[in-house]
Structure 1
Amino acid sequence: MIRTLGPNLSAPHLSANDPGFIAVHRAIGEIAAGRPVIIRDGLQAVLASPIDGGPILSGRMTLTAARAGYLGLEPAPTVVEAEPDRAVLSAIAMADAADVGRHMRAGSIANAASELAKMAERVPAMTLGSASSAPPGTLAAHAGDVLSFRHALAATQRPIASAPVPLAAGATANVTAFRNAIGGTVTAVVVGDIDRGALVRVHSACVTGDILGSLKCDCGAQLRLALGRICSEGGIVLYTAQEGRGIGLANKLRAYALQDKGLDTVDANIALGFHDDERDYAAAGNVLAQLGLSSIRLMTNNPTKAAGLATQGISVEPVPLIGPVTPDNERYLATKKTRSGHHL
């Protein structure tokens, strides 16, 4: 299953100045730091703490629908009850196999807890405790605001700074940083004059492939190919901070470890509680619109990426971008083709 955001970002539920937006932003920071937060919904309130790094509040823990289905439970958001032990709960949250005892379908607070963990790039499993036991000063957020936050955030990208940058691929690009309301950036690398039907690559950050030259994926090769194309033909590379198909570097490395145990890239993400692809393209669509583009030729083999931009009002003509097949990435590319529908 692929994460999708609705097409209408013109009137998100939250705006960046709303107290609810600010509360969620601060709650993400707390979860990223391993500190519990209070999640409210109506008269209900629960204290939630990330399983990877936060204190264990009890034996009650949230699981996403993906993780529940992987463990053989109903594929729905779930709360499990187990021994309040970190090793036991961590195995239920992210091991390649685990036994689950008592469990029940989760409500909106548990859904919001998992979403907070995802946005903080933690494993999306949170232990739950009584809000009345929260220390003074514990931050709180409303479940509805948590679940609306991504929509609101995607609409806040604004150009902050630009400069010409000479590229090794053979041209000078105008590079612009588009910053959102909490400091995240989409980087637009533009070569030449752009107009309707411009050649575009929307590239998700990959530390291992783009920077380290990993042979495990084709990300670095695709980035270099795309930069070469725009340097010779003109066009844009949008560099987006969606490492590991949107799960973050630490979780990507956890997924790599599961792949070493025999899981493919899709099942490894699902085993950790994520969709097989957590990326969304709302921010990219917003940036393209600000660049004056409503119709593009998109360098991609991924029909989901094309569809994601189309939901943002961008007319897309896919253009293949085929990198080399090697013994190290052959299985990865085969999974992209057979399980994710990439045109390879």
Structure 2
Amino acid sequence: MHQVERAIFDIRRGLPIVLQSGETGQDESDYVLVQPLEGASDRQLRTLPSAAGDVPGLVLSCHRLASLGQSIDAEVARLPLTNVSCVDRRHLNAMAFGAGMGQGDDGSRPRIPKAHPADKADRAALALMRRALLIPAALTVRVSASQHDTVAELIADGTLLVVSADDAERHADSAASRLMRVSEALVPLTDAPQSHFILFREADGLREHIAVLIGSPETWLDAVPLRLHSACLTGDIFGSLRCDCGEQLRNAVADIHAMGGGVLLYLAQEGRGIGLANKLRAYALQDTGLDTVDADQLLGFGEDERCYRVAVDILEELSIRRVQLLTNNPLKVDALRGAGIEVTERQAVYGRLTDQNHRYLSTKADRGGHWLDDVFNG
């Protein structure tokens, strides 16, 4: 898996990698060049087809594909770029980002090729983009027989990194479940003076999560008060008025302290799991009139990209199997119960309803099923 971790860092730098699909059994057809769209230079986009010697394709999620007016019975789709002019930043960005992002000055959009179901390498490519917290869009092109030796030389001299498509998909599914307990310290908080922070790092080093142990574990209730809080830099740190995250965080700490202590898991899942850069992109789209869900899906993400497997693993590390969950989100209850954690009861935790966060909270309630009746009726 170390090769996959190295590939993710190359991808985050905008560098191409090679996926070895292993689907055909023929060496000359086994390599697929992958270029992340985010961070790619104009030169990289122009030279990719000739470097591989075949027709490139734009790999997108089904969510982004839907915004282009197409649907497909698959999570990932590939749009073949048979027209060379389509391998152009303006056209590619229009197809991958849309909504004014990367379109021409005249607002024109390119003709959209008909999408096809993605193969193993395409699916692995998009899984790597998501893991790298980039826009889920990539160019892929199968290396032709005529270019196979050239690409093999670039792999041999370290210019290109090759990884197995199978390994890439497995890594995306399992990285969050391989945690390392890294460091810990007492960190007294305003609302919980007796607090102990424990930092956990995921295996590829990309994300770090914190377990905040409030009070003394020896005196906790049998069903431990628990809050799963996804990081929100804008709300938690800067007090953004677009959400109620910062107030929820501080209220949860105070509530857990008042209940005799428990645990707050601060999870590195910014923007419902899409990362800070994409969250800010979604904010810009929301300013054009879209709600949170539609903005995320226009960028190619699902309604909620978060995974709570890491929370379950941390709870197991802390030997916690029964909890009272502080949440308004039914998905968190279902995720814990589905993983064998007993949720004995649920307690709401709210922030203030304001003019600035009203639409955000309404979307949570109406489209995410969050239990917020008391907020709107209070």
**Scaled by the length of structure 1, what TM-score is found?**
0.89
Specify the alignment match of 2:77 in structure 1.
Answer: 78
Structure 1: unaligned runs, 5 residues or longer: 1-20
Aligned to 1:211: 237
1:140 equivalenced with 2:162 (yes/no): yes
1:285/1:309 contact within 8 Å kept: yes
Match of 2:317 in 1: 290
How far off is 1:195 after superposition? 5.0
- Which of residues 331, 336, 340 is equivalent to 1:309? 336
1:130 positional shift: 4.1
Encode CA deviations 1:237-288: one digit per residue, 9 max, x unaligned. Answer: 1111111111111011111111111111001111111111110011110000
What secondary structure is seen at the aligned counterpart in 2 of 1:268? helix
TM-superposed CA distance for 1:155, in Å, is 2.7
Q: Tell whether the 8 Å contact from 2:230 to 2:269 is kept in structure 1 after alignment.
A: yes
Of 211, 232, 245, the residue aligned with 1:188 is 211
Q: Which amino acid aligns with 2:98?
A: A
Q: How does 1:314-325 map to 2 (within 5 A)?
A: 314-316=341-343, 317-325=345-353
CA shift at 1:26, angstroms?
Answer: 1.1
Q: Distance in 2 between matches of 1:39 and 1:311?
A: 34
For residue 161 of structure 2, what is the amino acid of its counterpart?
Answer: L
- 8 A contact 2:60–2:137 mirrored in 1: yes
- AA partner of residue 81 (structure 1): P
Give how far 1:310 is off: 2.1
**2:120 corresponds to which of 100, 108, 112:** 108
Shift of 1:160: 2.2
Distance 1:102 1:163 in 2: 55
2:3 aligned partner: 23
SS in 2 for 1:49: strand
Contact 2:61/2:136 (CA < 8 Å) preserved in 1?
A: yes
- The amino acid across from 2:71 in the alignment is E
Amino acid at match of 1:328: Q
SS at match of 1:166: coil
Question: 1:321 offset after TM fit, Å?
Answer: 1.0
Which residue of the partner structure matches residue 357 of structure 2? 329
The aligned residue for residue 132 of structure 2 is 120
Give SS of 2:187's match. strand
Residue type of the alignment partner of 2:9: G
Secondary structure of the equivalent of 1:115?
helix
Give, as a single letter, the amino acid of the residue that structure 2 aligns with 1:104: H
Following superposition, the deviation at residue 306 of structure 1 comes to: 1.5
* Higher RCO, Cα 8 Å, sep 6+: 1
Q: CA deviation at 1:159?
A: 2.2
Measure, in 2, the Cα distance between the counterparts of 1:141 and 1:276. Answer: 30
TM-superposed deviation, 1:150: 3.6
Give the paired residue count. 324
In structure 1, how many angstroms separate the alpha carbons of the residues matched to 2:204 and 2:58? Answer: 28
1:92–1:100 contact (8 Å) kept in structure 2: yes
Q: Please say if residues 195 and 293 of structure 1, whose CA atoms lie closer than 8 Å, have aligned partners that are also in contact.
A: no
Letter in 2 for 1:63: L
Q: Highest CA radius of gyration, 1 or 2?
A: 2
SS in 2 for 1:72: coil
Residue in structure 2 matched with residue 175 of structure 1 by the alignment? 197
Choose the corresponding residue for 2:16, options 36, 45, 49: 36
**Residue number in structure 1 paired with 2:96:** 93
Write 1 or 2 for the structure with the bigger share of helix.
2
Q: Is the 8 A contact 1:64 1:124 kept in 2?
A: yes
CA distance in 2, matches of 1:251, 1:87: 19
TM-score, length-scaled by structure 2: 0.82
Work out whether 1:153 is the aligned partner of 2:175. yes
Q: Tell me how far apart the structure 2 counterparts of residues 111 and 66 of structure 1 sit (CA, whole Å).
A: 14
- Going from structure 1 to structure 2, the CA distance change for 1:29 and 1:149 (only over 3 Å counts) comes to same
Query: Deviations 1:100-139 (Å, cap 9, x if unpaired)?
Result: 1343221121111111011111101001234446444211
Closer, same or farther: CA 241–41 of 1 in aligned 2, 3 Å: same
Q: Residue 127 of structure 2 contacts residue 172 of structure 2 at CA under 8 Å; is this kept in 1?
A: no
Q: Distance in 2 between matches of 1:297 and 1:275?
A: 28
Whole-angstrom distance in 2 between the partners of 1:310 and 1:150:
23
Contact 1:196-1:293 at 8 Å conserved across structures: no
